[in-house]
Amino acid sequence: MKNSYRFAIVVTLAVCTLAASVAGYGQALPTDPVERAKVVAQFFEANARRLMLFDREGKEAGVVGQRDVYNQPVFSPDLTRVAVSRIDLDKERSDLWVLDIATGRGTQITASQTREQATNPAWSPDGSQVAYVGVRGGYFGIYRKASNGEGREELLYQGGSLISLNEWSMDGRYLSYFSADLAGGNSMFALPLNATGERKPIEIARSKTQIQGGRFSPDSRFIAYASNESGKMEIYVRPFDPAAAPGSKPAAGPWQISDQGGLGMANWRRDGKELYYLAADRGIMAVPVTTSPDFEFGKPTLLFRPPADAITGVAPGTSSISRDGERVVIAIPPPQLRQLTILDRQGKVVSIVGQPGFYVQPGISPDGKRLVVMRTDPKTSNQDIWTFDIATGQGYAVTNDTHPENAPIWSPDGTQVAYASFREQYSGVYRKAWDGTGNEEQLFRYTPGAFMVLTDWSRDGKFLTFWTGVLNLIALRPEEKALDRKAIEWIREDYDVIDGRFSPDGRYMAFLSNEVTINKTDVYVRPFDPNKPETPAGPAIQVSKDGAIGMISWRQDGREMYFLTRDWEVMAVDITTTPAFQAEPPRMLFKLQGPLPGNPPQWNNVSRDGERFVFAMPVRASTPAR
Amino acid sequence: MRQRTIVLIAVGVVLLAGSAWAHHNMTAIFDFNDRVMLSGTLTKVDWRNPHIELVVDAKNGDQMESWSLEGPPPSFFRARDINRSDIEAALGKAVTAEASRARDHSRSGLLRVITLPGGKVVSACPQNC
């Protein structure tokens, strides 16, 4: 990806996924205590991580504390404690905790209020303090506080926008952070701590590409960071001159340290002789370096790879290495490896498809013979669209590039797959043959910088649906060029409307909406007139009765619909569409062992005859991930 | 997934903010370090997804300027028990607003905080901060 927008779509997707796994997309937490507890428990189950320690060879060296919704673990300089950010969903806040490695005992360091947060811990060189990014009263700032939790927090810098703190330099003089600015690029800063009066950040580097994760060499003469200026994320080192003019070229370098991609987590050993980073394949890498008299570096070598079933959950923000280079702490997520699994109407496993992999959002082709899925490559971290033959398990890469493709849907005749992708400031819709052959064709380009979630392709091939809180249509008129097509706002209201799915005869659209209750979505159906696609052709009829989180599907004969509840119940509803739409009370077909990974509003995973349901089921790694 | 650090921050922000649509990239359009304070009359409220829009007519010297302020989606406010009617009640009345100005220096901005006639402060943070 050659621009800095990649992270934005990744952010959005991650937010979609996590938000959906919490409470259903776009929903606030329920106020009812029982429902709220249920949502919080599901969130915990889906997101809680174990803080696992490893030595340099990857041998397990213990677990710190209890499993919890931890992220951003960082070793104290003396290697006796780990500072970590912890999300408390029930109280809608996040705080920093310091965990004693020997006992697992935790001390809460910060005390955020509801809808405040404390993240990105960075230890002072002597371990007596922790700096962090705080959201206080709605404003981002960099703060510090005693690492035993005592005393008051001190505001060091009030930021104007989203800040990500990386490190407190080993000489104690600077904090390094970066701020993402997608219009003018990203900037990496050093915040002087010894200055008197108002602290003015020093802009170390500014780039239209991603630039982040800066950490100082022990003598603060160099800084290591991750950037995708070459077209993919790599690790670089450049000199740090606090007196240099903003935007000026470095006196030397930058030097690319990684040789097979580097996601981040660039850390220097205390003696300045070794540098570490997380490679594209999630391997923990070490590079011999010297900083005096000049910067020199050797060839990266692999220390170890994290456990295979969790590997795509390992990232710069979920792992770090100790100052002596002897210990790695990784916040290990629930198993990320998934098996494409087909169930019948009773919830019984009918078949599994292919080998376990890092899949989400499988969908069944119109003829019921193939699956389409989003797949993350564990070696490159690329997110592509794949199809699989159900009978043989044979996989086909529909896309194979560094663009993050998502939200695949089958064409009505099953010969093509449409998907969304964020490229060069624009979300767009593309299509390609199901087996990856031939050229990709762009169908639509959305507003600059705006995000979209693609959800359906009408059976007559004339319309696509996507949502942004607004339920939009794209009319695929053959005479119209892709870049000339405009989004049609089918429903734009003060409540959220998502996940539009056409009835087989094209006369109705089903969708999720929280019109009645902010913290609960239900399935509704409204008439659709292809000759007047600017507005629904009639009032809404509620289909679900007690909430739904997605998986809206219609049976081909128009006599049955399906959806998923917050309790992971797969529901069926008898319906009629002629002369007018009517729905009977929903009934449960079967219940899943949720929460399942992914974003249920996007799931289009029911066969057209209503006999088969496909899910990406979590599995433990017994064989290498494909 | 790449850029996990930012992802986690964003996830945290959204979780703590409740429902929040990321319709477009705010920092691409608005400069979070260039803030304007407006005192004037609320003349328009468009309370719809993907984000609300308020128009404030404010004096700049002798000239009246019409400022368009983009806010979070309505659900952001619903989750905080602030409804359309709360804002529409201020139509034609004096309000003050703080916003991050558009990068093209047009009279538009990303709403941070608005103070309603009765003194009630409605914050669009942390989503817009």
Of A335 and B11, the structure prediction assigns the larger pLDDT to A335
Q: With 80 as the cut, is the pLDDT of residue A167 above it? A: yes
Mean predicted confidence (pLDDT) in A227-232: 85
| Structural domain includes residue B128 | no
Burial A86-115 (b: 16+ CB within 10 A, else e): bbbbeebbbbbbbbebeeeebeebbebeeb
Report the share of chain A in percent with pLDDT over 70.
93
* Predicted pLDDT at A417: 98
Mean predicted confidence (pLDDT) in A599-609: 94
| Structural domain includes residue B106 | yes
Both tokens assigned to A205: 């580097």
The β-bridge partners of A267 are: A276
Of A25 and A287, the structure prediction assigns the larger pLDDT to A287
* Predicted pLDDT at B17: 33
* Predicted pLDDT at B7: 32
Of A523 and A597, the structure prediction assigns the larger pLDDT to A523
Both tokens assigned to A265: 């987590």
| Structural domain includes residue B129 | no
Chain A: give the shortest CA distance to residue B62, in Å: 30
CA atoms of A32 and A49, how far apart (whole Å): 27
Mean predicted confidence (pLDDT) in A387-412: 95
Report the share of chain A in percent with pLDDT over 90.
71
Q: Closest chain A residue to B80 measured between Cα atoms?
A: A28
Q: Could you tell me the CATH number of the domain that includes residue B106?
A: 2.40.50.140
Q: Which of A164, A210, A376 sits opposite B9 (nearest CB)?
A: A164
pLDDT category of residue A27 using cuts at 50, 70 and 90: low
* Predicted pLDDT at A34: 86
Of A138 and A543, the structure prediction assigns the larger pLDDT to A543
Report residue A608: phi and psi, to 5°.
-65, -25
Provide the residue ranges of all domains of chain A, joining segments of one domain with +. Answer: 49-332, 338-618
pTM of the complete model? 0.82
Interface touch A318/B10, C-beta < 8 Å: no
pLDDT category of residue B18 using cuts at 50, 70 and 90: very low
pLDDT category of residue A277 using cuts at 50, 70 and 90: very high
CA atoms of A565 and A461, how far apart (whole Å): 29
DSSP SS3 for A14: helix
Q: Which of 3.20.20.70, 2.120.10.30, 3.40.50.2300, 2.40.10.10 would CATH assign to domain A338-618?
A: 2.120.10.30
Of A7 and A623, the structure prediction assigns the larger pLDDT to A623
The segment with the largest mean pLDDT, out of A178-187, A190-199, A210-219, is A210-219
Mean predicted confidence (pLDDT) in A144-164: 90
Interface touch B23/A469, C-beta < 8 Å: yes
Interface of A with B in 442-501 (CB under 8 A): 447-451, 468-470, 492-497
Interface touch A233/B2, C-beta < 8 Å: yes
Interface of A with B in 229-288 (CB under 8 A): 233, 263-264
Residues of B in contact with A425 (CB under 8 A): 28
Mean predicted confidence (pLDDT) in B78-90: 90
Residue A222 C-alpha from the chain's centroid: 31
pLDDT 10s digits, A79-95: 999 999 999 999 989 99
* Predicted pLDDT at A402: 84
Q: Residue A210 in contact with residue A4, Cβ under 8 Å?
A: yes
In terms of C-beta distances under 8 Å and separation of at least 24 residues, what long-range contacts does A27-31 make, across chains too?
A27/A514, A27/A518, A27/A519, A27/A520, A27/A521, A27/B19, A28/A518, A28/A519, A28/B18, A28/B19, A28/B75, A28/B78, A28/B79, A29/A89, A29/A90, A29/A92, A29/A519, A29/B18, A30/A519, A30/A520, A31/A519
Residue A12 touches chain B, beta carbons under 8 Å: yes
| Structural domain includes residue B41 | yes
CA atoms of A284 and A512, how far apart (whole Å): 43
Q: With 90 as the cut, is the pLDDT of residue B98 above it? A: yes
Interface touch A138/B4, C-beta < 8 Å: no
pLDDT 10s digits, A476-519: 999 999 999 999 999 999 999 999 999 999 999 999 999 998 88
Interface touch A115/B123, C-beta < 8 Å: no
Interface of B with A in 53-92 (CB under 8 A): 73-75, 78-79, 84
Interface touch B18/A92, C-beta < 8 Å: yes
Of A231 and A65, the structure prediction assigns the larger pLDDT to A65
Interface touch A87/B15, C-beta < 8 Å: yes
| Structural domain includes residue B60 | yes
Q: With 90 as the cut, is the pLDDT of residue A598 above it? A: no
| Structural domain includes residue B64 | yes
Interface touch A14/B1, C-beta < 8 Å: yes
* Predicted pLDDT at B79: 81
Q: With 70 as the cut, is the pLDDT of residue A22 above it? A: no
* Predicted pLDDT at A208: 77
Mean predicted confidence (pLDDT) in A589-606: 91
In terms of C-beta distances under 8 Å and separation of at least 24 residues, what long-range contacts does B100-104 make, across chains too?
B100/A160, B100/B26, B100/B30, B100/B31, B100/B32, B100/B33, B100/B34, B100/B35, B100/B128, B101/B30, B101/B31, B101/B34, B101/B35, B101/B36, B102/B29, B102/B30, B102/B31, B103/A183, B103/B28, B103/B29, B103/B30, B103/B31
Q: What is the DSSP letter of A596?
A: P
Q: Which of 3.40.1390.30, 3.40.50.300, 2.170.270.10, 2.120.10.30 would CATH assign to domain A49-332?
A: 2.120.10.30
Of A620 and B12, the structure prediction assigns the larger pLDDT to A620
pLDDT 10s digits, B99-117: 999 988 999 999 999 999 9
Question: What is the domain count for chain B?
Answer: 1
Q: Residue A175 in contact with residue A189, Cβ under 8 Å?
A: no
* Predicted pLDDT at A244: 87
Q: With 80 as the cut, is the pLDDT of residue A182 above it? A: no
* Predicted pLDDT at B25: 65
Interface touch A449/B25, C-beta < 8 Å: yes
pLDDT 10s digits, A352-363: 999 999 999 999
Residues of B in contact with A317 (CB under 8 A): 4-8
| Structural domain includes residue B52 | yes
Range of the domain at B72: 4-123
A348's CB contacts (< 8 A; 6+ apart) are none
Both tokens assigned to A475: 């009319």
